């Protein structure tokens, strides 16, 4: 639709008619208002044929959008979710995903493209200048508003009937309290929930992989094992809540290499059990390097030294990882000798 398409006589003159007054800069007024440039017409404004073409284009785009939506629904109904097709250059892709994305994308794009074409070619494009006005109201208007307010106050008898006035103020003051009281449902406070886990004296350490209790001989030096408290099963309703606090990683370090005295006391022949929950914001943390005994948190790179009481050696974590004191039961299985000494996971308001 270039300008070549339209008949010569329909084109506007090169600089036809100057709209609005334009002053020319001279000695008296060196910064004269140049005014707006002359309005230029679009092909569609002059040539009804071109306008018709534009209308048809916009209608076509909207119709395509409708068809794409119908296609979306048809694809959703007809294509099985496990069919895979090859699409260049994406490669193998689920046919359903591809069809849904393509049709929904086309439906939205065609609405947008139609609207843009409509606005650019057919909606009025006349430039309109809106003059600025002072914000202040005129003195007469202000006078009248003051008078009206005074009259209203007098007619409402608010000044004379003090009982009404005071009770009204009381009612208006109390109403927001309902909203304040509802905030109570943000609670109750967690009480001691964050301070206790399922571990207690005598709880066996159960291997997450085999679901069997661990023996000290199972845990080799340099190995990494994850454990959960005995009795907690994956299908339990509370599993996620409880494992989020009780998750445990078990490593074995040569007792000579353990620098922290309490860590050595709480270990069993170099087997140490630490909380798997980062003390920064609670990410599961188990990127264990068996030569350096460092554990790295993947979220914010907090690094803990498992050979030195899980001390923080890098990153934003504020506390060492809590250690679980372990021993061996009468049957020769690893067992906890109590709960963690401090709350696991990130700090909280009342942690102290």
Rule CB under 8 A: is residue 49 a binding residue for other proteins? Answer: no
Quick check: 299 binds other proteins (CB under 8 A)? no
Pair type for strands 326-328 and 287-289: unpaired
CA distance 253 to 141: 87
Place of tokens 């001390």: 311
Of 52, 68, 133, nearest in space to 107 by CA = 68
Decide if residue 218 touches other proteins (CB under 8 A). Answer: yes
Binding to other proteins (CB under 8 A): which residues in 124-183? 125
Determine if 230 is a binding residue for other proteins (CB under 8 A): no
Residues 231 and 222: beta-carbon distance below 8 Å? no
- Exposure on the CB side of residue 267, measured as CA atoms within 13 A: 27
- Of 178, 192, 209, 240, the residue at the interface with other proteins (CB under 8 A) is 209
The candidate with the shortest Cα–Cα distance to 154, out of 205, 146, 270, is 146
Minimum CB separation of residue 84 from other proteins in Å reads 5
Q: Between 75 and 219, whose beta carbon lies closer to other proteins? A: 219
Nearer to other proteins, 152 or 222 (CB): 222
The minimum distance between CB 152 and other proteins, in angstroms, equals 53
Residue from the set 18, 23, 63, 97 that interacts with other proteins by CB under 8 A: 97
Site track for other proteins across 245-264, x = CB under 8 A: ------x-------------
- Residue 336 contacts residue 229 (beta carbons within 8 Å): yes
Under rule CB under 8 A, residue 42 binds other proteins: yes
Taking CB under 8 A as the criterion, the residue among 22, 73, 147, 287 binding other proteins is 287
Q: In this complex, which beta carbon is closest to other proteins, that of residue 218 or of residue 230?
A: 218
Stretch that binds other proteins, among 137-145, 186-194, 224-232, 263-271 (CB under 8 A): 224-232
Give the span between the Cα atoms of 170 and 191, in whole angstroms. Answer: 36
The residue from 203, 267, 303, 323 that contacts other proteins (CB under 8 A) is: 303
Tell me the CA end-to-end span of the chain in Å, nearest whole number.
74
| Residue 90 touching other proteins (CB under 8 A) | yes
Handedness of CA 45, 47, 48, 52 (dihedral sign): negative
One of 124, 138, 178, 291 touching other proteins (CB under 8 A): 291
For other proteins, which is the closer residue by CB, 91 or 187? 91
3-state secondary structure of 74: helix
207 is a contact residue toward other proteins (CB under 8 A): yes
Nearest to other proteins of 214, 258 (CB atom): 214
**Cβ–Cβ under 8 Å, residues 103 and 71:** yes
- Per rule CB under 8 A, is residue 75 in the interface with other proteins? no
Q: What does the alpha-carbon distance between residue 308 and residue 314 come to, in Å, rounded to a whole number?
A: 13
On the 0-12 / 13-18 / 19+ scale of CB atoms within 10 A, 243 is buried
Axis-axis angle for helices 95-121, 48-78 (nearest 10): 160
| Separation between Cα atoms, residue 300 and residue 314, nearest integer Å | 10
- The residues of the shown chain that bind other proteins, judged by CB under 8 A, are 2-4, 6, 11-12, 14, 40-46, 84, 87, 90-94, 97-98, 116, 120-121, 125, 207-210, 214-215, 217-220, 222-226, 251, 284-292, 294, 296, 298, 301, 303, 314
């Amino acid at each position: 639709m270039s300008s070549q398409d339209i008949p010569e006589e329909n084109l506007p003159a090169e600089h036809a008619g100057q709209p609005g007054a334009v002053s020319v800069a001279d000695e008296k007024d060196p910064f004269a208002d140049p005014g707006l440039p002359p309005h230029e017409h679009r092909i569609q404004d002059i040539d009804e044929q071109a306008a018709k073409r534009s209308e048809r284009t916009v209608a076509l785009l909207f119709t395509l959008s409708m068809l794409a939506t119908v296609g979306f629904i048809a694809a959703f109904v007809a294509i099985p979710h496990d069919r895979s097709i090859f699409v260049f250059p994406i490669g193998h892709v689920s046919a359903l995903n591809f069809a849904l994305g393509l049709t929904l994308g086309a439906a939205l794009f065609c609405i947008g493209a139609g609207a843009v074409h409509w606005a650019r070619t057919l909606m009025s494009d006349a430039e309109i200048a809106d003059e600025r006005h002072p914000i202040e109201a005129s003195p007469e208007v202000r006078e009248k508003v003051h008078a009206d307010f005074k009259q209203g106050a007098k007619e409402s008898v608010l000044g004379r009937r003090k009982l009404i006035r005071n009770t009204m103020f009381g009612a208006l003051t109390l109403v927001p309290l309902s909203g304040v009281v509802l905030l109570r449902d943000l609670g109750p406070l967690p009480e001691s929930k964050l301070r206790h886990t399922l571990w207690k004296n005598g709880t066996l350490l159960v291997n997450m992989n085999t679901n069997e209790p661990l023996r000290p001989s199972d845990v080799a030096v340099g190995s990494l094992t994850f454990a959960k408290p005995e009795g907690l099963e994956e299908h339990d309703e509370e599993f996620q809540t409880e494992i989020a606090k009780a998750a445990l990683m078990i490593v074995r370090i040569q007792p000579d290499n353990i620098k922290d005295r309490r860590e050595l006391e709480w270990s069993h022949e170099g087997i140490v059990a630490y909380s798997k929950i980062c003390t920064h914001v609670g990410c599961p943390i188990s990127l264990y390097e068996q030569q350096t005994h460092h554990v790295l948190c993947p979220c914010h790179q907090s690094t803990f030294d498992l050979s030195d009481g899980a001390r923080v050696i890098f990153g934003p974590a504020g506390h060492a990882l809590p250690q679980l004191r372990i021993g061996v039961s009468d049957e020769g299985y690893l067992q906890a000798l109590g709960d963690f000494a401090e709350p696991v996971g990130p700090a909280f308001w009342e942690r102290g």
